[in-house]
Amino acid sequence: MIGKSALRTLVNNGAKIGVRFGGARFKHTLPELAYGYDELEPVLSKKLMMLHHDKHHRAYVTNLNNSIEQMKTLLDSSAALTGKQEGVSGDKNKLESLRNEILANDKKLAELQRIVGFNAGGHINHSLMWDTIKPTKNGGGDEGNEISASLSKQISRDFGGIDNLKKLLVGKSMGLMGSGWGWLVFDYNNKSLGVMTTANQDTVGAAGNYEALFGIDAWEHAYYVDYNNVKLDFYQNIWKIVNWKKISETYEKAMSK
């Protein structure tokens, strides 16, 4: 759970999601893609990309902003009610009424906390995914030329090679019950790579001291338009558009911390 002071910081200033921002009334925005909706074909069709980015991801952003605004209103209300308590300290009925209103706000805030966490996770996870895929014509899937020497070496050390990494991550993703994500992560604790899954829109950072390097979206909306229920084909084909250059950059930054 997030404390009230952390919630107030969140609703007043926004949450850092891989980008810099300023201003007291920051609003999260749908990130622009570095490629056209049709440029990931045939791995991902234009129709799927339009639905995934402009509909599903946009919904996470919209719901996140709306929920943060609702939280701000409730926090301001609770602060005002708390301030009124001192003025009615001698009136038990008014004092009880104020406290009941504050408790009602707290219950609403707890539910909004859950909604904000879910939509912020969806925004974070999708933003990372768009950055770690790119058209084949721009080097997507070309681990031979795009992956850094140090990351290639660590993959060999931790997985026995890139083919084994792919099999492990695909296997992990296939094992997910329901919706979620499959991840290639950097473990800060032991400076190693690993594969893991998160449920729904939970983030890698919430699971431990990890840095997300690459994520496979295991929600049906990520593949059903193109692959129907054969999600294994989707998990295997996604490697054809992986942005190894971006993954390598994130890895190098994580290693240097």
Binding residue positions for Mn(2+): 52, 126, 217, 221
248 CB-near residues (< 8 Å, 6+ apart)? 146, 147, 148, 150, 151
Annotated binding-site members? 52, 126, 217, 221
Q: How far apart are CA 121 and CA 64, in angstroms?
A: 10
